[in-house]
């Protein structure tokens, strides 16, 4: 960067289409925080501070109610296998009669 009294002063500008990526809802999504910090660092001339920080792996959990668990059980253990069996019997009997 040049001094203020020099004739050729270098300027840096970062332009974004929207500021929504740095609001409270979106700052933690993806690499929005890194993008904002790196843009500021580049603009003020701190090129050595630009980096992409490693993402922390967070475990996610799904909460399933007892009714949903029963529905999943009955569908996967009873209903789907029986439907496949009936479809197989229907195909077999149709081919046998042809």
pLDDT string in tens for the chain (98-residue length): 555 566 677 788 889 888 888 888 888 887 888 888 899 999 988 888 888 777 777 778 889 999 999 999 999 999 999 999 999 999 999 998 87
Identify the H or E element spanning 50. Answer: none
**Measured on CA atoms in the order 36, 42, 45, 51, is the torsion positive or negative?**
positive
Question: Is the domain of 70 the same as that of 40?
Answer: no
Instruction: Using only the alpha carbons of the chain, give its radius of gyration.
Output: 30
Q: How many structural domains is the chain composed of?
A: 2
Question: Is the domain of 44 the same as that of 17?
Answer: yes
Q: What is the pLDDT of residue 5?
A: 62
Question: Is the domain of 49 the same as that of 71?
Answer: no
Domain span at residue 95? 62-98
Question: Is the domain of 44 the same as that of 7?
Answer: yes
């Amino acid at each position: 960067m040049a001094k203020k009294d020099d004739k050729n002063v270098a300027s840096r500008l970062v332009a974004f289409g929207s500021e929504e990526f740095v609001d409270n809802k979106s700052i933690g999504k993806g690499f929005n925080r890194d993008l904002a910090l790196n843009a500021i660092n580049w603009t003020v001339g701190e090129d050595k501070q630009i980096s992409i920080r490693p993402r922390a792996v967070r475990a996610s959990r799904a909460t399933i109610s007892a009714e949903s668990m029963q529905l999943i059980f009955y569908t996967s253990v009873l209903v789907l296998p029986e439907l496949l069996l009936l479809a197989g019997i229907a195909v077999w009997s149709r081919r046998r009669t042809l």
